[in-house]
Amino acid sequence: MDQKTNRQGSMFWRTVIGLGVLLTAIRVWTGPVLLVEPASAQIPDSGLQRQQLLEETRRTNQLLQEITKTLNSGTLNVRFPSADNPSDAPKETRKRG
């Protein structure tokens, strides 16, 4: 009885291994099966990105030149509201009622 059980167990494992090898061979032969669609992206237009970057850089430089010109030649009037002087304090426009 012991030999018969041993043979059946051995036959079972041989069948399992054989099925595994067969399934692997079929999988290799047919190729991969996609369960999820592959993601696809568009290739960015690097020339357009470079052009936009240059335009923004030029605009930033223009703004900085204007700021520099104002700081060098213009007069700036800066007012700080004082805590001691109530006339400089912002006026409240809330209605009470």
- The residue whose two tokens read 């012991």 is 2
**Contact, 10 vs 2, CB < 8 A?**
no
Q: Is residue 25 part of a domain?
A: yes
Q: Is residue 84 part of a domain?
A: no
Q: What is the pLDDT of residues 5-15, one digit of tens each?
A: 677 778 889 99
Q: What is the pLDDT of residues 14-51, one digit of tens each?
A: 999 999 999 999 988 888 777 788 777 877 888 999 99
φ/ψ of residue 75, rounded to 5 = -110, 130
DSSP E strand boundaries for 21-79:
none
Q: Is residue 88 part of a domain?
A: no
For the entire predicted model, the pTM comes to 0.37
Q: What is the pLDDT of residues 54-79, one digit of tens each?
A: 999 999 999 999 999 988 987 777 77
Domain, as residue range, for 10: 1-29
Number of independent structural domains in the chain: 1
Q: Is residue 55 part of a domain?
A: no
